[in-house]
Structure 1
Amino acid sequence: MNETADPNNAILLVAIIAFYWALLGSWGQPLPRSGEDKAKRDDVQTRQRTGCIENTSSGDLPLDVIRKIDPGFDLAKFLAGANAAYEIVLLAYACGDMQTLKRLVGPQVLDIFEQATAERRDRQEMLQLTFIGMREATVISALEKDGIAEIAIRFVSDVVSVTRSANDAIVAGDPQQITEVIDAWTFACDTQSRKRKWMLIATDGG
């Protein structure tokens, strides 16, 4: 059975993707290179971290470490892009849209989404998800190491989520109930790149 969300969700997904690409120009502005060239840097660790959001290692406020690299860092624009990405990722996961997810998440997070989607397909179940709105998006930590910047955000959102079987019976969720969802997502980018591209590298449900 093909995994699809209901038509209203599909329309919403298209609209959000358009919004995301409109924001990408401001969310993905170049980061100036740091004063010292690094001879080499470690690869981004794109593992799923459960209950392990890294904190800043100094007494700096979370975003101070990012502003040391990019004094012009615009928090409002970053959060607008992160909010859009959060919504897109949720709906793309519900639809089983791996092509959209590949553009937004790191390889190990993508592996987890692909496995969950495949298991849902094997059970012939369909996830219907309606994103109601974002209540809160707060930066909880930030770090920069070996040319990689990471920012963790705590999202509090309202969704309606229903999982249905092949015969349309409700397996989980309630189509009449709005549920509060709390997530901590970590985004990373290469600060040495001419154009910053933030990717989702870790998720942690709160």
Structure 2
Amino acid sequence: MNETTDPNNQILLVTIVAFYWALLGCWDQLLPRSGEDKTRRGDAVTEQGSDVADYSSSAGQPVDMIRDIDPNFDLAAFLAGARTAYKVILQAYAHGDIQTLKRLVGPEVLQTFERTIAGRRDREETLQLTLIGMSEAKVIDALGENGTVEIAVRFVSEVVSVTCSANDSVAAGDPTLIVEVTDTWTFARETQSTKRDWMLIATEGD
């Protein structure tokens, strides 16, 4: 379920949406402020319910490796930022907000978003996404090489995805169906960067 390899997959249109952010204390400067279960379609991305799940990372090699490179690495701050970015990017993607996405994602991911958003626009379609909740955000792998550290995070979320045509009829998706989506996003940062900025560089869906 990877939109990068299958742009026609509507569920993946939800999940590969990803970000640019500062790890320690810079979120406020970079990000905007602000199943069979049934849910109403909104005009924009909304969140229903609350994030009550465990957003911890399994202890061990991935986080230990990161801390070998950066002793000040704050896992809780990293995951909090990842969750916030997930919500912001969903909204930007659904709205076709390319300028926001340019700040948040790497070139390859951005190219995929731009292509899909352009196709939607040409077909006069709109994408309506509702984020119901997120049950997991966990660091599952990490790599450090060539002056760059990469961190893979597994997200498990519940979403409603509906694509509507110009006459507001449903072209794809189901406005009454909550779908559980599992994806792995890989974020990268230059280890010598003074800004400590992370970029989404790859996505993979289960």
Asked if Structure 1 and Structure 2 have the same fold, meaning a TM-score greater than 0.5 normalized by the shorter chain, the answer is: yes
The list of structure 1 runs, each at least 4 consecutive aligned residues, that deviate by more than 3 angstroms after superposition, is 20-24
The one-letter code of the counterpart of 2:150 is E
Question: What residue number does 2:138 align with?
Answer: 138
In structure 2, stretches of 5+ residues that fail to align are 1-19, 29-59
Listed as ranges, the matches of 1:114-133 within 5 Å are 114-133=114-133
Query: Which structure's CA Rg is the greater one?
Result: 1
- Shift in Å at residue 24 of structure 1? 6.3
Q: Find the counterpart in structure 2 of residue 99 from structure 1.
A: 99
Alignment match, 1:156: 156
Structure 1 unaligned runs (5+)? 1-19, 29-59
When residues 119 and 202 of structure 1 are mapped into structure 2, their CA distance, relative to the original with a 3 A threshold, is same
Q: Which amino acid aligns with 1:202?
A: A
Give the match's secondary structure for 1:154: strand
* SS of residue matched to 1:25: coil
Match of 1:81 in 2: 81
For 1:192 and 1:74, how far apart are their aligned partners in 2? 17
Opposite residue 123 of structure 2, the aligned amino acid is R
Change (3 A) 1:99 1:26: closer
User: What displacement does 1:140 show?
Assistant: 1.1
Residue type matched to 2:67 in 1?
A: R
Distance 2:172 2:25 in 1: 38
- The CA distance in 1 between the partners of 2:148 and 2:23, in whole Å, is 22
SS at 2:176 equivalent: coil
Farther off after superposition, 173-182 or 139-148? 173-182
SS at match of 1:152: strand
TM-score, normalised with respect to structure 1 = 0.71
- Count residues with an aligned counterpart: 156
